[in-house]
Amino acid sequence: MEQFSRIDNSKNGLQVSRREQKISTAAFAVDASLETFRRCEDIGADILIVHHGLFWGREELLTGYHYERIRFLMEHDIALYAIHLPLDAHPSLGNNAGIAASLGLSDVKPFGLHKGIPIGMAGRLDRPMELFAIQQKLFGFDGNVIASLPFGPDEISSVAIVSGGAAFDVDEAIEKGYDLFITGDASHTIYHRCLEAGINVIFAGHYLTEVWGVKLLMEHLLKGPGSEAGIHAEFIDVPTGL
């Protein structure tokens, strides 16, 4: 995670420790929040591993909701570990890798430079697909997303992906000639440039584009070191709809 330390505001790594060192149950979630922490306590989790932690590169006073969050973790002896940009960018366990693998993309390449480091991925579909079929494949039968812009080819062959808040990376997708750009947060600002450039866009929602990494990491733990140590793991789903 060292290469991300200069570009990531998140304090990646262990953010809150615990008294007991033994870990029997690990919980995984997208966001560190009181609701998530309470559900960790319900399942007896010793550690929570999240994409969005509590510390973001500035001094945080232990007051208000921030105090309540830390207090809950300490009172229930739950450790908190955060992995932000490294989990977006990881080539096999990351959010973008998960979306790319689910689509079966081939010729996968790094995409979406953030301060000189690629965060996303891009590649080609083995068979062309329509926009709504891609939404269904990734996000369920109803294909529910925040919004989509059907401004590009009806038959999509190439896809660029940057999870989370990366709407302006569509410029790179346009420049490189991709048929579809997938990201999380919607942006009014890019509407007309996408229309004029003739590119499809899916704004799937920040949450839906960032469940992939923590789930893949959990599966990796269960198959590898966690399996050997007898650790139980559980994903805690707290969708925001955004």
Q: Assign residue 39 the CATH number of its domain.
A: 3.40.1390.30
The verdict on 57 and 151 lying in the same domain is no
174 lies in the same domain as 120: yes
> What H or E segment, with its residue span, contains residue 162?
none
Beta strands 106-114 and 117-129, pairing class: antiparallel
Residue-level pLDDT at 192 = 99
Does position 104 have pLDDT exceeding 70, yes or no?
A: yes
Query: Which positions make up the binding site?
Result: 51-52, 88, 206, 210
Q: Are residues 78 and 95 in the same domain?
A: no
- 241 part of a folded domain: no
Q: What is the mean pLDDT of the chain?
A: 95
Find out whether 50 and 78 touch, Cβ atoms under 8 Å. no
> Which positions make up the binding site for a divalent metal cation?
51-52, 88, 206, 210
Reduced to 3 states, what is the DSSP secondary structure of residue 223?
Answer: helix
Across 215-225, average pLDDT: 90
pLDDT tens for each residue of 157-205? 999 999 999 999 999 999 999 999 999 999 999 999 999 999 999 999 9
Structural domain containing residue 19: 2-83+210-235
Band of pLDDT at residue 1, cut at 50, 70 and 90: low
Contact, 156 vs 180, CB < 8 A? yes
Question: At which residue do the structure tokens 């991925």 appear?
Answer: 121
pLDDT recorded at residue 60: 83
Say yes or no to pLDDT of 226 above 70: no
